[in-house]
Amino acid sequence: MSNPPQPSHDIRSKSKAVQNGSGQRILTVNLITRSGSQRGLSRGRTVTTTAARSDTVYDDPCTSSQQDAGQSSESTGNHKVPECSTRSGNDNSQASTSELPPPPEIQLSLAEDLTGQIFGGINDYAASGAFANVYRCEWRKPSGPVKKVAVKTFRHHTNPISEQDLRRFRRETAIWAHLVHDNIVTLYGTTEQFGPATALVSQWFPDGTLSHLIREQGATLTIKSKLKLLHGIASGLYYLHSFPVVHGDITSSNVLVDLKEGEYKACLTDFGLSNVLCGHLKMSQIEGSTVRSGAVRWTAPELLRPHELPSNIKPTTQNDMYSFGRVMFHLLTLIIPWHDIDEYRVIQKIQNGEDVPRPEVSEAMSDVTDPRWGHIEQCWSIDPPARPCALTAMNFITGELEALKQDVSS
């Protein structure tokens, strides 16, 4: 079998430090065509992708004592959690660009082109999402074992993709391909053999999405399984936010689950791609926002501001944490947020300052304890800096798991 074709040119963008209206440094990313590059990103560098457009910059999403969760902590319920340190654009204490060292140049090779190595077809259809179909295929490498993979092809492809959209798409996939973490879906590369649009080749998850798991087996999930899934989601977010990279589309459908030895593991997928593809693929968007139809129930209220130009609305890590609270609600209650009303009524309620009410206390809602509901409400704070960061969420869930062990042993 011949080797896949290699791109004939490099796509590069100048790497430079600029200062926006909030006095923040923004570092552009150089994309280079290079095969066999090492996966992985360096922490502490701001990567400006669609998935990382942020009005709030975390050089470190929590305090500098992340390595020691026992330091710089505050009490939340019965658990000690590290404080979150957010630096918003309105924080006058933030150093100016001139006081900061020059940013390093980051070079990311484009996601590997696997065209010619992926085998499968329409009969291998596995699932569909908001903007794509997923097929179970085989990756037959020139050497090594055959690997089952998921191939995601994008629907509604009506016009040739613009050069700008193509650059954005390549930038997003380049970032994703370099993310390496147990709770992040592995992106192996791309392929051009599944229609006119570039398809993504990623890790195969036979157990599907968290949304599917809740719908089909939610009643059988133990609180331990639920908490472990939530810990995995928070761990994946902590990894992303420590660069910082913003996911931008956290929903139960963008969490895949992997069942091994009787335990489920959660993995995040589809970083920022909805924002790139929404316009090009003629997807339905909520008027006056950048939010795709179907994501409103999971979206932070500041992304749904009335009379705000969509181009002025930028996703942040704090938006992700709001959405984490929505997923936590869904998993603990087995109820989709605002399940009984349509999306436009959801927007009206959010803009009126209303939020999803706590379910009535019952045996069916025994997993929604006071501390857990308190954490959900913190994630849903109307004030974004007041929301817990991903490390705080991780430590809260760890504390809940430890409390379960103590209950069993006592």
Q: Which candidate, 185, 193, 391, 147, places its Cα nearest to that of 270? A: 185
Q: What is the pLDDT of residue 252?
A: 96
Cβ neighbours around 4 below 10 Å, total: 19
pLDDT per position as a tens digit, 77-106 = 333 333 454 433 333 333 332 333 443 344
Q: Residue 312: which residues within 8 A CB-CB, separation 6 or more?
A: none
pLDDT per position as a tens digit, 212-240 = 999 999 999 999 999 999 999 999 999 99
**More confident call, 181 vs 155:** 181
Distance CA 111, CA 105 (A): 19
For residue 165, pLDDT beyond 90: no
pTM of the model: 0.74
User: Mean pLDDT, to the nearest integer, of 340-346?
Assistant: 88
Question: What DSSP element (H or E) covers 407?
Answer: helix 390-409
For residue 186, pLDDT beyond 90: yes
**More confident call, 62 vs 249:** 249
Helix/strand/coil for 133: strand
Helix/strand/coil for 137: strand
User: Mean pLDDT, to the nearest integer, of 232-254?
Assistant: 94
Q: What is the pLDDT of residue 379?
A: 98
Question: What DSSP element (H or E) covers 370?
Answer: helix 370-379
Q: What is the pLDDT of residue 52?
A: 38
Q: How would residue 169 be classed by pLDDT, with cut points 50, 70 and 90?
A: confident
Lowest mean pLDDT among 170-174, 302-306, 315-319: 302-306
